[in-house]
Amino acid sequence: MPELPEVETIKEELLPHIVGRTISGVTLFWERMLRQPLPAEFHPRISGQKITGLSRRGKYLIFQLGGGNCLIAHLRMSGSLLFGRGLPPEYTRAIIHLDNGNNIFFRDPRKFGTLQLVKDSDSVLCKLGPEPLSPSFTPEILYDSLKKRKAPIKAVLLDQGFIAGIGNMYADEALFAAGIHPLRPANSLSRTEVKSLHRVIREVLQEAISSKGASVSTYFRPGGETGTAHSQFQVAHRGGKPCPVCDTPIQRIPIRQRGSYFCPKCQPEA
């Protein structure tokens, strides 16, 4: 599932190719991906609009349009935005056509991705928590917020209303780096543990961005290349393999219906 590093990579690599270009039209092969407005209203509202900016909030991509609208894309479980010309790649669900003949292909094998054309992006993004790489996201803020939560720390980190952009892979990696068991109640973490967790969350995300994201399964960069962050994973998707620190087999357990990977020795539950 594309998480913050993957979406940030897509944003950075798409941005120089699309800002200043005009959308000549959109082809929807899977109309149910369009959350709002209705298709009959969507096409006339977006055609002819100039792309003035591209930003990221959590796992969302926001295309700022000259007419005052925003096109918000969420890649969900298996989406990618590919850039180029010619025939659409397999599993393309939508094509954003640009005035210079280039296209943005929304590829999504599992059909969970969404598009929304709105006047105010806050109407969609207002419930998101803080950005983990923002200077305003401090260890003190994280500690105070965790003290209010009794749920397992892994589940809390996945809550996009608590913190935006962290998904399954990077939550596993951050908890391993901090030596925290994923089932620990969030409010049981000490100030020292929270300070360590805050630091490694930022480090794990920044390292993954430097590696252009993790191509575990369906994620591709706009040019079709893969990211390499997955080659640095310590526990994520490594069930049964030896821990890189102590050689104990990595375990996988379900937490809130999500598979969680951890080292039982390096991340003791007690």
Catalytically active residues are 2-3, 59, 258
By three-state DSSP, how is residue 43 classified?
helix
Sign of the Cα torsion 239, 200, 76, 227 reads: negative
CB-based burial label for 21 (10 Å; 0-12, 13-18, 19+): middle
* Spatial separation of the C-alpha atoms in residues 222 and 220, rounded to whole Å: 7
DSSP 33: G
Residue 15 C-beta-side C-alpha neighbours within 13 Å: 14
By three-state DSSP, how is residue 134 classified?
coil
Q: Say if strands 23-28 and 92-98 run parallel, antiparallel, or are unpaired.
A: antiparallel
* Spatial separation of the C-alpha atoms in residues 25 and 44, rounded to whole Å: 9
CA distances from 191 to 51, 144, 187 (A): 44, 9, 10
